[in-house]
Chain A
Amino acid sequence: MITVELIKQIRRPRAWIVFGVLAGVAVIVTLIIGLTSASTPERIGNWGSVVPNSSGFTMGLIGLNALLLFLIPLAVAIFAGESVAGEAGWGTLRYLLARPVSRERILTSKAVVAALFSLAAVAVVVVAGVLSGLVAFGWHPLSVLDLQHATAFSTGQSTVSPVAALGRLGLAVVVVSGTMLSTFAFAFFCSTLTDRAFSAVAGGVLFGLVSRSLDNIPGLHTLTPWLPLTDKGTDVWNGIFFRPTDWSGLPHLALVQGLYAAVLLSIAAVVFHRRDVLS
């Protein structure tokens, strides 16, 4: 079932357009920085700082940081929101369900494939950033400044070898994808509710926007740790590149994202199991 779904999605131009836009934006960012301000330090999240022309790997971080606010959540919402609603929109959902396979298996296969594509979307940003960065600035050790812990006696700088940088970027892809879990689950849940894929995608995007707005209202700080998408939560991956590596935000992030994903995906399963599929 998963293979069938995977082949179906790979053949659709939509996935390739999304990947193309993500990679394109990451490459353009490198291009502009490389041509005009290669030696100006760039901020990564709240506390990180890198000098672009010190190493090609910095572009992976810069790309991830720049696209994390809108474009990556949008890509995730597109993959998750289209999965079931897209099928319903074409009117082929009923034929899919006519196969002698349980609804749970169909839903699971769709969720797994959408999740794979979402993970790939984050990876595409990093890969495009790093590849273009390597061409522009070369294969050098990666240095990241931790401004929070920089003092008169220590610059808070961590330098890692190119190979280690690759490994850490891989970890960053996993952590950032984890940050997107709640968005994914909400868009997927919306997708089981409606026949219009666009509504589900819009739902996923609005979910993040509402969460970020609530995050920035001063009176609601007690809510902040439990919101799905926050400034603090989306900065957790920065810790991977600091020295000592800062994992402190990770358990809580995993808990919150896991909770949202579990609840929303279960509701999606219940809704899809009971729904009268008319399209």
Chain B
Amino acid sequence: MIGVEWTKQFRRTRTYATLGIVAGFPLVLSVALAATGSGQVEYVGDVPLVMVPRTSGFSVPIIALASTMKFFLPLAVSLFAGEAVAGEAGWGSLRYVLARPVSRTRVLWSKASVAALLSGAAVATLAVAGVVVGILCFGWHPLYVIDGGASSPGHPVAATLSPAVLLGELGLSTLYVTAGMASIFAVAFFLSTTTRRPLVAVAGGVGLTIISRVFNADYLPGVSVVNNYMPNNDIDLWNHLFVRPLPTEGIPHFLILQAVYFVVFMGLAQWWFTRKDILD
């Protein structure tokens, strides 16, 4: 079943268009960075990480991840998850898929696995394209990172990270961001089972990130009570992997939160889909 679904999605231009745009982002970013004067300092994320992008190619994937994790990556993930079931319903072929002698649960989970693989591929594509393009443009060098949050004037808190360490931490960051997409994926996938219009499901996934952004204590301190339960707010904590000493506070909480969102909404999707009257 997974193989069938995989071939189906793999033949669609939409898959390639989405991954292509994701891969194109680091390229555009590198061109923009290369076009700026040398020695230009960049503030990345809310920590912020202070770095000079042109000193090392590893700055590109870091900036690329930081600037896409709150909208473009959730959009790509919502596209894959939201289209999974609703797309089939929209074409009117869902009833034929279910006519096969396979349980609904298996159909649903094969669709979920493929959509999840593609979503993971989107995040990985961004990171890999970032590393490749970045190293081609700015070279394989260590990166000097100042912790903009902990530093005070005249007393910088900084670390120089070697390429090997950077690669390892980028791998971890990519995994963290991928895990952070789980909530958005699950919500979009659940919506996908409830509607025959894929765009509604996609919009629902994106809407969730927008709501999350509104109730974010980084921008609106008054809402800090709900901040910790919003699905997309603490996705920037991987930034801390690049400062020394390593603070990991909040990371376990965020991963548990993602797991809870994932279990609840995938459970709802399963519950809904196995009971639904399929008319499309």
Interface residues, chain A, CB within 8 Å of chain B? Answer: 25, 28-29, 32-33, 35-38, 40, 42-43, 52, 62, 65-67, 69-71, 74, 198, 209, 213, 216-220
* Segment from B34-42, B172-180, B233-241 that makes contact with A: B34-42
A217-B32, A220-B32 known; A70 vs B222 contact (CB < 8 Å): no
Interface pair B32/A25, CB less than 8 Å apart: no
Looking at B33, B222, B223, B224, the one whose CB has the most chain A CB atoms below 10 A away is B222
Q: List 13 A-B contacts (CB under 8 A).
A: A36-B223, A36-B224, A38-B222, A40-B222, A67-B214, A69-B213, A70-B214, A71-B214, A198-B199, A217-B32, A218-B41, A219-B35, A219-B37
User: Within B20-47, which residues are at the interface with A (CB < 8 Å)?
Assistant: 32-33, 35-37, 40-42
**What are the 8 A-B residue pairs with the smallest beta carbon separation, nearest first?**
A219-B36, A33-B222, A70-B210, A36-B225, A37-B222, A198-B199, A32-B223, A217-B32
User: Within B66-80, which residues are at the interface with A (CB < 8 Å)?
Assistant: 67, 71
Interface residues, chain B, CB within 8 Å of chain A? Answer: 32-33, 35-37, 40-42, 67, 71, 199, 203, 210-211, 213-215, 219-226
A40-B222, A209-B71 known; A32 vs B37 contact (CB < 8 Å): no
Interface pair A40/B221, CB less than 8 Å apart: yes
A216 contact set on B, CB distance < 8 A:
67
CA distance A67 to B32 in the complex (A): 29
CA distance A86 to B38 in the complex (A): 48
B211 contact set on A, CB distance < 8 A:
25
A contacts with B: majority SS:
helix
Interface pair A71/B210, CB less than 8 Å apart: yes
A66-B219, A218-B40, A219-B40 known; A213 vs B67 contact (CB < 8 Å): yes
CA distance A33 to B223 in the complex (A): 6
Looking at A67, A69, A217, the one whose CB has the most chain B CB atoms below 10 A away is A217
CA distance A186 to B173 in the complex (A): 36
Interface pair B213/A70, CB less than 8 Å apart: yes
Chain A: which residue is nearest B200 at the CB level?
A198
Chain A: which residue is nearest B198 at the CB level?
A198
Q: How far is the CB of B31 from chain A (nearest CB, A)?
A: 10
CA distance A36 to B224 in the complex (A): 8
Choice from B35, B203, B226 contacting A32 with Cβ under 8 Å = B226
A38 contact set on B, CB distance < 8 A:
222
A213 contact set on B, CB distance < 8 A:
67
Interface pair B221/A32, CB less than 8 Å apart: no
Chain B: which residue is nearest A212 at the CB level?
B71
Interface pair B222/A74, CB less than 8 Å apart: no
Chain A: which residue is nearest B33 at the CB level?
A219
Chain B: which residue is nearest A35 at the CB level?
B225
Q: How far is the CB of A155 from chain B (nearest CB, A)?
A: 20
Chain B: which residue is nearest A216 at the CB level?
B67
Interface pair A32/B222, CB less than 8 Å apart: yes
CA distance A28 to B71 in the complex (A): 23
Q: How far is the CB of B108 from chain A (nearest CB, A)?
A: 25
Chain A: which residue is nearest B37 at the CB level?
A219
A74 contact set on B, CB distance < 8 A:
210
Q: How far is the CB of A95 from chain B (nearest CB, A)?
A: 24
Chain A: which residue is nearest B203 at the CB level?
A198
Interface pair A219/B225, CB less than 8 Å apart: no
Chain B: which residue is nearest A26 at the CB level?
B214
Knowing that A66-B214, A218-B36 touch, tell me 18 more A-B residue pairs with CB under 8 angstroms.
A25-B211, A32-B223, A36-B223, A36-B224, A36-B225, A42-B221, A42-B222, A43-B219, A62-B222, A69-B213, A213-B67, A216-B67, A217-B36, A218-B41, A219-B32, A219-B33, A219-B36, A219-B40
Interface pair B40/A66, CB less than 8 Å apart: no
CA distance A29 to B224 in the complex (A): 11
Interface pair B225/A32, CB less than 8 Å apart: yes
Chain B: which residue is nearest A59 at the CB level?
B222
Q: How far is the CB of B261 from chain A (nearest CB, A)?
A: 19
CA distance A43 to B42 in the complex (A): 24
CA distance A33 to B203 in the complex (A): 27
B225 contact set on A, CB distance < 8 A:
32, 35-37
Chain B: which residue is nearest A41 at the CB level?
B221
Q: How far is the CB of A66 from chain B (nearest CB, A)?
A: 5
CA distance A43 to B210 in the complex (A): 19
A42 contact set on B, CB distance < 8 A:
220-222
A52 contact set on B, CB distance < 8 A:
222
CA distance A67 to B215 in the complex (A): 10
A36 contact set on B, CB distance < 8 A:
222-225
Q: How far is the CB of A224 from chain B (nearest CB, A)?
A: 14
Interface pair B199/A25, CB less than 8 Å apart: no
CA distance A208 to B223 in the complex (A): 25
A209 contact set on B, CB distance < 8 A:
71
CA distance A218 to B44 in the complex (A): 12
